[in-house]
Amino acid sequence: MLARDLKSLLKDPGLLATDAFLAGDWVGADDGATFAVTNPANGETICQVPDMGRAEAARAIEAAAAAQKDWAAKTAKERAGVLRKWYDLMMAAQEDLALILTAEMGKPLAESRGEIAYGAGFVEWFAEEAKRIYGETIPGHQPDKRLTVIRQPVGVVAAITPWNFPNAMITRKAAPALAAGCAILIKPAAETPLSALAMAVLAERAGLPKGLMSVITSSKSSDIGKEFSENPVVRKITFTGSTEVGRILLRQAADQVKKCSMELGGNAPFIVFDDADLDAAVKGAIACKFRNNGQTCVCANRIYVQSGVYDAFAAKLAEAVGKLKVGDGMDDGTDLGPLISDAAREKVETHLADATAKGAKVILGGKPHQRGGTFFEPTIVTGATQEMQFATDETFGPLAPLFRFETEDDVIAMANDTIFGLASYFFARDLSRVYKVAEALEYGIVGVNTGLISTEVAPFGGVKQSGLGREGSRHGIEDYLEMKYICMSV
Ligand SMILES: NC(=O)C1=CN([C@@H]2O[C@H](COP(=O)(O)OP(=O)(O)OC[C@H]3O[C@@H](n4cnc5c(N)ncnc54)[C@H](OP(=O)(O)O)[C@@H]3O)[C@@H](O)[C@H]2O)C=CC1
Ligand SMILES: O=C(O)CCCC(=O)O
Residue 462 scores a pLDDT above 80: yes
pLDDT at 17: 98
Percent of residues, the chain, with pLDDT higher than 70: 100
pLDDT at 357: 98
The DSSP output letter for 256 is: T
Decide whether any atom of ligand 2 lies within 6 Å of the 240 Cβ: yes
- Residue having the nearest C-alpha atom to atom 9 of ligand 2: 454
Ligand 1 atom index nearest CA of 245: 17
Query: How far from 317 is each of 289, 314, 363, 411, CA to CA, in Å?
Result: 11, 5, 10, 20
* 352 CA to centre of ligand 1 in angstroms: 22
CA-based nearest residue to 216, from 57, 62, 100, 61: 57
d(CA 428, CA 437): 10
If DSSP codes are grouped into helix, strand and coil, which group holds residue 29?
coil
pLDDT at 174: 98
Look up the pTM and report it: 0.98
Note the ligand closest to the C-alpha atom of 173. 2
* 10 CA to centre of ligand 2 in angstroms: 26
263 is catalytic: yes
Ligand 1 atom index nearest CA of 422: 1
The DSSP output letter for 308 is: H
The residue annotated as part of the active site, out of 104, 204, 263, 471, is 263
* 298 CA to centre of ligand 2 in angstroms: 6
d(CA 427, CA 276): 5
The average pLDDT across 415-444 equals 98
* 196 CA to centre of ligand 1 in angstroms: 16
If DSSP codes are grouped into helix, strand and coil, which group holds residue 58?
helix
- Residue having the nearest C-alpha atom to atom 3 of ligand 2: 297
pLDDT at 93: 98
Note the ligand closest to the C-alpha atom of 266. 1
d(CA 130, CA 132): 6
Which band of pLDDT confidence, cut at 50, 70 and 90, is reported for residue 173? very high
* Ligand 1 pocket test, candidate residues 35, 161, 221, most atoms within 8 A of CB: 221
d(CA 463, CA 191): 28
Which amino acids bring their CB within 6 angstroms of ligand 1?
Answer: 160-164, 187, 189-191, 219, 221-222, 225, 240-242, 245, 248, 263-265, 297, 394, 396
Ligand 2 atom index nearest CA of 240: 3
Q: Using N-to-C axis directions, what is the helix angle for 221-230 and 54-73, rounded to 10°? A: 50
Quote the Cα angle for 57-59-60, to 5°. 65
Ligand 2 atom index nearest CA of 295: 1
Which runs of consecutive H residues, i.e. helices, occur in 291-367?
A: 307-321, 342-357
* 389 CA to centre of ligand 1 in angstroms: 20
pLDDT at 157: 98
Sheet arrangement for strand 20-22:
25-27, 20-22, 213-215, 183-187, 156-160, 234-240, 259-263, 467-468
Q: Do residues 174 and 167 touch, judged by C-beta distance below 8 A?
A: no
Percent of residues, the chain, with pLDDT higher than 90: 99
pLDDT 10s digits, 109-126: 999 999 999 999 999 999
Sheet arrangement for strand 300-306:
361-364, 379-384, 399-405, 300-306, 268-272, 423-427, 445-448
pLDDT mean across residues, the chain: 98
Strands 234-240 and 259-263: parallel
Residue 101 scores a pLDDT above 80: yes
The average pLDDT across 220-242 equals 98
For residues 137-163, one letter each, b for 16 or more C-beta atoms within 10 angstroms of the residue's C-beta and e for the rest, the string is eeeeeeeeeeeeeebebbbbbbbbbbb
Ligand 2 atom index nearest CA of 168: 8
pLDDT at 3: 82
Q: Is the dihedral of CA 160, 161, 167, 173 positive or negative?
A: negative
* 72 CA to centre of ligand 1 in angstroms: 31
Residue 180 scores a pLDDT above 90: yes
d(CA 451, CA 447): 6
Residue 1 scores a pLDDT above 90: no
Which band of pLDDT confidence, cut at 50, 70 and 90, is reported for residue 43? very high
The average pLDDT across 345-363 equals 98
The average pLDDT across 240-253 equals 98
pLDDT at 266: 97
The average pLDDT across 224-245 equals 98
The average pLDDT across 333-354 equals 98
